[in-house]
């Protein structure tokens, strides 16, 4: 079993483990962010470059550092490897650059976005983004389109993480959409006027790290932090039937698959990913359809549980600043 | 006169046809190769010191020796004929004139590597070359140099010519493989490298046209003879496609190690700068490599003559050097606008970015727009600094080298010609083209 050291934390991991997986095993700040990697989808990762890390020592056998930052989600750990994530200033600078690139064509319309509060890019831009955009040119725009009767596509928000294409390839039994064009005019689209009609297509909404795909049965019904997430299950012949109900009072506003702290679907029975079918997701919106297990603990990538954007210490400073500004204005 | 290994018969009338090619020793080397052990052929290529002629310059023999050889699994040799780097046109020229040299090289390479099937992946836009090659392949099949029981040796070998869709990124080896398999030409994430998992997930070697052609003289004369040509680790001959403000632009076969000054000014090669103007700058290895000003392209930072070799051109790193790359030698005279040239290059890379990874997808477009702004007289000094910063955030952060290819020209142009950028910024009235800039960027002039 190879040993890897990430930001000074050493861990022994099984053969074939990637740097990102090893960092997730260590947990905390050591873990690089990932927008396109999704452990439940084969060949995902490597595209967004947010998870790049610096390998300062290749391995015990070949201790040379790697010449360029590598995508931690696609780089396998070697015995004796040493990696820097948060501890390398130049890497942080590079990651800031990646975030800036990602935000060029992703509007910060969080106030009206259904994904707000559980958006990975929102977290990433909070941690690594600039307060002001340096990009002054026209951004790309698309009309919102309905891809099927339950999903709306906001291509303007898409960061081309390819996750949903992988879902269509690996989870759904038919694929009618993919990436068209290239470069910064590349877009996800369905094959000419085809709607996505598949029992598992709703999982595309769950894997989307931003708000490019939204659930038409939930759109604009509530901010996610006003809902109460509850673990629930039902006897379903198509899927594992284990879901999270986002409730308001006794009303089920949204149903999603159960996700772990990394925003990925949890494993259901026999270690298989707990994808849920469209019937459970879109059609079972009555409490009586479900056996409710209890409140769901949400511990990362969400403001639902912990109000992560409100650091009390900073808040006090902000309040005092505001007071000073107001006093100056009055004087 | 320098020795010619690849182009010695290029001016023979009808050399494109099999009969003429055979009259000049064509396919004799293939016969010789069949008398050798497969590993000995690889050894000869190793001994020759041949470095990949597509741009990266990785030793070809070493690449061949990396090829995995699992039992019962097919192996493939793929010729990368997707040449499309601005300023590079040597492969097209060679395939047009000497298609059988490529086919012979493919047969020798495939025999050495134990491949039963090989592919030539050609850029779809080179349709007339495609027809020339296909005709030559048909001739070779008819004459028994390809197909079942090649030359009576019992070895079956098929060579297919595959057309690409015309995307620059398909010249990157893994994108080429994706495209060859009928998929969208996006680069794969490495590892695994093609030597382990390539075409149809089988071990594959991808070589440039010139590299494969060079195998013929190497096997014919021996690796040692080839290694004696050239200088240092830059052995053999190299095709250079010279263009720009030259008296005699064209494709030249040089012995590596020729001084750059001799290459530009001697009558044997380019004959000097057009209209006897002064040399301003040179892009030595295709548009993706750093541009160098005249004083640095003719002499190294130490004042020694710069040579046409991998090492000499790279001397001093990117601060004072560049790369031999694919051999696309673009010469600019004193009247050339570096900013305008750079905009052309950057526009190309923006258009050709595959869009998989964020820095390349978004960064190339941003650089192009900033350059356009500066070029049209609307730039500021902050824009020049921003341009520098953007390129630094693309370089080395992308899946494939296209990001680097887009970033290096920008970095070198600002490094060596910053004053020219500043001139555009400080004297905008002379160049300002309001309507064009505003129209392209969809801006309201009154609000800017």
B169 contacts in chain A (CB < 8 Å): 182
Whether B63 and B148 share a structural domain: yes
pLDDT tier at B68, thresholds 50, 70, 90? confident
By mean pLDDT, which of A270-274, B36-40, B178-182, B254-258 is the weakest? A270-274
Q: Between chains, do A49 and B398 touch, taking CB under 8 Å as contact?
A: yes
Q: What is the pLDDT of residues B400-432, one digit of tens each?
A: 999 999 999 999 999 999 999 998 888 877 666
The answer to whether residue A293 scores a pLDDT higher than 50 is yes
Contact yes or no for B333/B280 (Cβ under 8 A): yes
Question: Final residue of a domain: which of B227, B251, B267?
Answer: B227
B351 contacts in chain A (CB < 8 Å): 183
Q: Between chains, do A105 and B362 touch, taking CB under 8 Å as contact?
A: yes
Whether B390 and B438 share a structural domain: yes
Percent of chain B surpassing pLDDT 70:
96
pLDDT score at A74: 93
Residue B277 lies in a domain: yes
Q: Between chains, do A179 and B355 touch, taking CB under 8 Å as contact?
A: yes
The answer to whether residue A309 scores a pLDDT higher than 80 is no
Chain B: nearest CA to A253, how far in angstroms? 34
Q: What angle, rounded to 10 degrees, do the helices at B338-352 and B402-426 form?
A: 150
Chain B: nearest CA to A235, how far in angstroms? 40
Whether B202 and B282 share a structural domain: no
Whether B248 and B321 share a structural domain: yes
Whether B123 and B269 share a structural domain: no
User: Which of A52, A74, A160 lies closest to B397 in CB terms?
Assistant: A52
The answer to whether residue A194 scores a pLDDT higher than 80 is no
Q: Domain containing B401: what range?
A: 338-442
Residues B221-240: what's their mean pLDDT? 93
Whether B346 and B377 share a structural domain: yes
User: Which of B167, B351, B358 lies closest to A98 in CB terms?
Assistant: B358
pLDDT tier at A31, thresholds 50, 70, 90? very high
Contact yes or no for A10/A17 (Cβ under 8 A): no
pLDDT score at A308: 41
Measured CA to CA in angstroms, residue B197 lies from B158, B204, B354 at distances of 20, 7, 21
Residue B242 lies in a domain: yes
Q: Nearest 5 degrees, angle CA B99-CA B103-CA B105?
A: 115
Percent of chain A surpassing pLDDT 90:
60
Whether B142 and B48 share a structural domain: yes
Chain B: nearest CA to A123, how far in angstroms? 17
Whether B53 and B161 share a structural domain: yes
The answer to whether residue A73 scores a pLDDT higher than 60 is yes
Nearest chain B alpha carbon to A135: B366
Q: Between chains, do B386 and A46 touch, taking CB under 8 Å as contact?
A: no
H helix count then E strand count, chain A: 8, 14
Q: Between chains, do A137 and B369 touch, taking CB under 8 Å as contact?
A: yes
Percent of chain B surpassing pLDDT 90:
86
pLDDT tier at A81, thresholds 50, 70, 90? very high
Query: What number is the ipTM of this complex?
Result: 0.89
What average pLDDT does the structure give for chain B? 92
Question: Which residues on chain B place their C-beta less than 8 Å from a C-beta of chain A?
Answer: 167, 169, 184, 189, 191, 350-359, 361-366, 369, 386, 389-390, 392-394, 396-399, 441-443
Q: Between chains, do B356 and A160 touch, taking CB under 8 Å as contact?
A: yes
Residue B140 lies in a domain: yes
CATH number at residue B347: 1.20.1440.230
B56 contacts in chain A (CB < 8 Å): none
pLDDT score at A315: 46
Candidates A33, A137, A139: best to mutate against B (most CBs of B within 10 A) is: A137
A104 contacts in chain B (CB < 8 Å): 362, 366
pLDDT score at B280: 94
Whether B205 and B69 share a structural domain: yes
What average pLDDT does the structure give for chain A? 87
pLDDT score at B408: 96
B443 contacts in chain A (CB < 8 Å): 138
A49 contacts in chain B (CB < 8 Å): 357-359, 397-398
A34 contacts in chain B (CB < 8 Å): none
pLDDT score at B377: 86
* Element holding A96 (H helix, E strand): helix A89-104
Separation between Cα atoms, residue B54 and residue B78, nearest integer Å? 13
pLDDT tier at B359, thresholds 50, 70, 90? very high
Q: Between chains, do B364 and A102 touch, taking CB under 8 Å as contact?
A: no
Nearest chain A alpha carbon to B382: A134
The answer to whether residue A301 scores a pLDDT higher than 60 is no
User: Which of A47, A68, A135 lies closest to B356 in CB terms?
Assistant: A47
A93 contacts in chain B (CB < 8 Å): 393
Residue B12 lies in a domain: no
Rounded-to-10 torsion of CA B15, B21, B25, B27: 140
B356 contacts in chain A (CB < 8 Å): 47, 160, 162
A46 contacts in chain B (CB < 8 Å): 189, 357, 399
Nearest chain B alpha carbon to A182: B354
Q: Between chains, do B357 and A46 touch, taking CB under 8 Å as contact?
A: yes
Expressed in angstroms, the distance from the first to the final Cα of chain B is 60
Chain B: nearest CA to A315, how far in angstroms? 32
B386 contacts in chain A (CB < 8 Å): 134
Residues A10-39: what's their mean pLDDT? 93
Whether B351 and B372 share a structural domain: yes
pLDDT score at A7: 94
More confident residue, B260 or B377: B260
The answer to whether residue B226 scores a pLDDT higher than 70 is yes
Contact yes or no for A202/A151 (Cβ under 8 A): yes
Nearest chain B alpha carbon to A36: B357
Chain A: nearest CA to B414, how far in angstroms? 19
Burial zone of A323 (CB within 10 Å; 0-12 exposed, 13-18 middle, 19+ buried): exposed
Token pair of B345 as six digits: 């290059």
Nearest chain B alpha carbon to A140: B362
Q: Between chains, do A97 and B353 touch, taking CB under 8 Å as contact?
A: no
Residues A138-157: what's their mean pLDDT? 90
Chain B: nearest CA to A131, how far in angstroms? 16
Nearest chain A alpha carbon to B439: A138
A134 contacts in chain B (CB < 8 Å): 386
Residue B381 lies in a domain: yes
Q: Between chains, do A184 and B355 touch, taking CB under 8 Å as contact?
A: yes
Chain B: nearest CA to A331, how far in angstroms? 33
* 3-state SS assignment for residue A136: coil
Candidates A101, A120, A129: best to mutate against B (most CBs of B within 10 A) is: A101
Candidates A19, A67, A97: best to mutate against B (most CBs of B within 10 A) is: A97
More confident residue, A328 or B172: B172
Residues B162-166: what's their mean pLDDT? 91
pLDDT score at B195: 93
Question: Final residue of a domain: which of B189, B205, B227?
Answer: B227
Separation between Cα atoms, residue A94 and residue A88, nearest integer Å? 10
Nearest chain A alpha carbon to B168: A182
Separation between Cα atoms, residue B113 and residue B212, nearest integer Å? 13
Partner residues linked to B332 by β-bridges: B281
Residue B11 lies in a domain: no
Q: Between chains, do B189 and A46 touch, taking CB under 8 Å as contact?
A: yes
By mean pLDDT, which of A16-20, A254-258, A291-295, A307-311 is the weakest? A307-311
User: Which of B357, B364, B369 lies closest to A47 in CB terms?
Assistant: B357
Q: What is the pLDDT of residues B373-387, one digit of tens each?
A: 998 888 999 999 999
pLDDT tier at A193, thresholds 50, 70, 90? low
Q: What is the reported pTM?
A: 0.90
pLDDT tier at A311, thresholds 50, 70, 90? very low
Work out how many CB contacts closer than 8 A connect A with B. Answer: 97
More confident residue, A177 or B306: B306
Question: Which residues on chain A place their C-beta less than 8 Å from a C-beta of chain B?
Answer: 45-50, 52, 67-69, 71, 74, 76, 93-94, 97-98, 100-102, 104-105, 134-135, 137-138, 159-160, 162, 178-179, 181-186
Number of structural domains found in chain B: 3
CATH number at residue B74: 3.40.50.11540
Question: Final residue of a domain: which of B165, B193, B227?
Answer: B227
Nearest chain A alpha carbon to B351: A183
CATH number at residue B304: 3.10.20.600
Residue B13 lies in a domain: no
Q: Between chains, do A46 and B399 touch, taking CB under 8 Å as contact?
A: yes
Nearest chain A alpha carbon to B187: A47
Residue B303 lies in a domain: yes
Nearest chain A alpha carbon to B356: A47
Residues A232-252: what's their mean pLDDT? 92
Whether B307 and B364 share a structural domain: no
Whether B120 and B221 share a structural domain: yes
By mean pLDDT, which of A300-304, B272-276, B309-313, B362-366 is the weakest? A300-304
């Amino acid at each position: 079993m190879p040993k890897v050291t990430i930001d000074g934390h050493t861990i022994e991991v099984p053969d074939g483990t990637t740097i990102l997986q090893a960092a997730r095993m260590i947990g905390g700040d050591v873990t690089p962010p990932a927008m396109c990697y999704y452990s439940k989808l084969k060949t995902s990762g490597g595209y967004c470059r947010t998870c790049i890390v610096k390998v300062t020592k290749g391995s015990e056998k070949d201790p040379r550092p790697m010449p360029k930052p590598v995508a931690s989600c696609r780089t396998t750990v070697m015995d004796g490897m040493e990696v820097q994530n948060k501890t390398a200033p130049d890497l942080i600078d590079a990651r800031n650059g990646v975030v800036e690139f990602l935000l060029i064509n992703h509007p910060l319309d969080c106030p009206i976005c259904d994904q707000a509060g559980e958006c990975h890019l929102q977290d990433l831009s909070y941690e690594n983004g600039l307060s002001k955009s340096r990009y002054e040119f026209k951004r790309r725009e698309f009309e919102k389109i309905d891809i099927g009767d339950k999903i709306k596509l906001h291509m303007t928000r898409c960061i081309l993480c390819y996750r949903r294409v992988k879902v269509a390839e690996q989870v759904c039994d038919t694929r009618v959409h993919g990436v068209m064009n290239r470069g910064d005019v590349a877009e996800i689209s369905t094959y000419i006027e085809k709607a996505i009609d598949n029992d598992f297509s709703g999982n595309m909404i769950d894997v989307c790290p931003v708000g490019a795909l939204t659930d038409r049965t939930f759109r604009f019904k509530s901010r996610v932090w006003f809902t109460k997430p509850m673990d629930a299950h039902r006897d379903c012949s198509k899927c594992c039937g284990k879901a999270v109900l986002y409730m308001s009072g006794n009303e089920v506003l949204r149903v999603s698959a159960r996700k772990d702290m990394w925003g990925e679907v949890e494993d259901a029975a026999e270690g298989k990913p707990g994808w849920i079918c469209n019937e459970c997701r879109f059609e079972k919106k009555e409490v009586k359809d479900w056996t409710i297990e209890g409140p769901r603990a949400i511990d990362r990538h969400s403001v639902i549980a912990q109000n992560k954007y409100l650091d009390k210490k900073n808040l006090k400073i902000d309040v005092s600043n505001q007071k000073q500004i107001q006093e100056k204005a009055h004087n | 006169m320098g020795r010619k290994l690849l182009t010695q018969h290029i001016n023979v009338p009808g050399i494109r046809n099999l009969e003429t090619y055979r009259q000049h020793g064509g396919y004799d080397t293939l016969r010789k190769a069949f008398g050798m052990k497969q590993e000995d052929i690889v050894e000869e290529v190793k001994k020759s010191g041949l470095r990949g002629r597509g741009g990266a310059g990785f030793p070809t023999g070493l690449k061949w020796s990396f090829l995995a050889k699992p039992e019962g699994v097919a192996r493939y040799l793929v010729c990368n004929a997707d040449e499309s780097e601005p300023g590079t046109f040597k492969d097209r020229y060679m395939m047009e004139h000497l298609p059988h040299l490529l086919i012979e090289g493919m047969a020798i390479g495939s025999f050495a590597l134990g491949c039963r099937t090989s592919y030539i992946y050609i850029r779809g836009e080179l349709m007339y070359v495609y027809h020339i090659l296909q005709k030559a392949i048909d001739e070779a099949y008819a004459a028994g140099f390809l197909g079942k029981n090649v030359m009576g040796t019992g070895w079956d070998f098929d060579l297919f010519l595959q057309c690409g869709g015309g995307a620059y990124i398909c010249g990157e080896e893994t994108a080429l493989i994706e495209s060859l398999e009928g998929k969208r030409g996006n680069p794969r994430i490495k590892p695994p490298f093609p030597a382990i998992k390539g075409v149809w997930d089988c071990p594959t070697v991808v070589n440039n046209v010139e590299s494969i052609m060079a195998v013929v003289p190497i096997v014919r004369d021996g690796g040692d003879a080839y290694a004696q040509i050239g200088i240092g680790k830059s052995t053999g001959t190299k095709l250079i496609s010279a263009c720009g403000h030259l008296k005699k632009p064209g494709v030249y076969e040089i012995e590596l190690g020729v001084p750059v000054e001799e290459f530009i000014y001697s009558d044997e090669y380019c004959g000097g700068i057009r209209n006897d103007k002064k040399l301003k700058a040179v892009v030595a290895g295709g548009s993706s490599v750093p541009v160098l000003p005249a004083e640095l392209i003719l002499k190294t930072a130490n004042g020694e003559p710069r040579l046409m070799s991998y090492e000499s051109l790279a001397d001093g790193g990117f601060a004072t050097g560049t790369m031999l790359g694919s051999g696309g030698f673009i010469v600019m005279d004193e009247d050339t606008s570096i900013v305008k040239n750079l905009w052309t290059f950057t526009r190309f890379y923006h258009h050709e970015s595959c869009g998989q990874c964020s820095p390349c997808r978004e960064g190339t477009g941003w650089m192009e727009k900033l350059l356009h702004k500066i070029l049209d007289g609307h730039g500021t000094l902050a824009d020049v600094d921003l341009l520098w910063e953007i390129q630094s955030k693309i370089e080395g952060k992308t899946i494939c080298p296209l990001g680097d290819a887009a970033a290096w020209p920008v970095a070198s142009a600002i490094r060596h010609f910053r004053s020219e950028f500043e001139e555009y910024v400080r004297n905008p009235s002379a160049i300002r083209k309001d309507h064009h800039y505003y129209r392209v960027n969809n801006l309201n002039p009154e609000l800017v």
